[in-house]
């Protein structure tokens, strides 16, 4: 059942508002760069169509929220806003966990994922890994990343149990480590990120 488009300007604005609310929440919760204004408007209109299509279903499930004769639209404005918030969060959840493309990969439709970049994808797949950051000045630092940048060009790594690694002059296999409680490393100083597949729990 397609949603009925209102005739008056005010009703039209209220009709479109849930889609823009959902789009704003969606973009605030994902790591992707925001597209241009035209693409954002298109997505907001798509979200509007989805939210307005869901509303009659919710009304049929909960008859007590049906509009009254005195107020056919205003009484459901809060419901539209609530559905927009929930749908925006759900859409972001799907993208951040790669659920749509995971299904498409199973069906052999694509080999792509929903992550914003290979950088973000790598950190998503190694959430329970220690890292070794190879800096441009030749130093290396080892630690547990509690925070990391969503993009490889800006932001910082926050490492706990951080240890500077120095190769021994006598034995290249042995390592001297100078530890610190936590360390904030600018991503622009990092040349290579090495993931150590060892869980934090197994270290204790």
Task: Give the predicted TM-score (pTM) of the model.
Answer: 0.70
Whether 200 has a pLDDT exceeding 80, the answer reads no
Sign of the C-alpha dihedral computed for residues 201, 141, 182 and 128 taken in this order:
negative
For the chain, what are the domain ranges? 9-105, 118-203
Among 51-65, 67-81, 108-122, 139-153, whose mean pLDDT is lowest? Answer: 67-81
Q: Residue 119: count other Cβ atoms within 10 Å of its Cβ.
A: 18
Q: Fold for domain 118-203? A: SH3 type barrels. (2.30.30)
Query: CA 119 to CA 102: how far, in whole Å?
Result: 18
In this predicted model, what pLDDT tens digit does every residue of 7-61 receive, in sequence order?
Answer: 677 778 888 899 999 999 999 999 888 888 899 999 999 999 999 899 888 878 8
Separation CA 133–CA 150 (nearest Å):
16
How many CB atoms within 10 Å of residue 75?
13
Distance CA 172, CA 166 (A): 9
Closest CA to 31 of 143, 145, 118: 118
What residues are paired with 163 via a beta bridge?
A: 142, 179
Residues in the chain: 204
From the list 79, 52, 51, the residue with the least C-alpha distance to 63 is: 79
Q: What CA dihedral angle connects 137, 138, 143 and 145, to 10 degrees?
A: 50
Q: How far apart are CA 25 and CA 79, in angstroms?
A: 16
Whether 74 shows a pLDDT value over 60: the answer reads: no
CA distance readout (Å), 68 to 7, 16, 64, 74, 143: 19, 21, 10, 9, 60
Residue 64: pLDDT above 80? Answer: no
With a CB cutoff of 8 Å and minimum separation 6, the contacts of 171 are none
Of all residues in the chain, the percent with pLDDT exceeding 70 is 80
Report CA-CA distances (Å) from 180 to 135, 177, 185: 17, 10, 13
């Amino acid at each position: 059942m397609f949603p009925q488009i209102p005739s008056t300007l005010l009703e039209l604005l209220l009709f479109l508002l849930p889609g823009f609310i959902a789009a704003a929440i969606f973009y605030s919760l994902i790591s992707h760069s925001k597209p241009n204004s035209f693409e954002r408007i298109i997505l907001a209109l798509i979200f509007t169509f989805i939210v307005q299509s869901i509303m009659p279903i919710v009304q049929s499930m909960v008859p007590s929220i049906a509009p009254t004769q005195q107020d056919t639209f205003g009484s459901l404005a809060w419901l539209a806003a609530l559905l927009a918030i929930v749908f925006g969060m759900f859409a972001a959840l799907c993208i951040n966990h790669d659920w749509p493309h995971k299904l498409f990969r199973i069906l052999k439709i694509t080999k792509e994922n929903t992550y914003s970049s290979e950088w973000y994808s790598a950190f998503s797949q190694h959430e329970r890994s220690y890292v070794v950051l190879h800096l441009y000045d030749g130093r290396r630092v080892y630690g547990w990343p509690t925070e990391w940048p969503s993009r490889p060009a800006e932001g910082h790594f926050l490492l706990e149990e951080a240890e500077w690694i120095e190769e021994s002059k006598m034995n290249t296999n042995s390592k001297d480590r100078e530890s610190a409680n936590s360390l904030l490393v600018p991503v622009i100083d990092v040349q290579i990120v090495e993931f150590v597949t060892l869980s934090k729990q197994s270290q204790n």
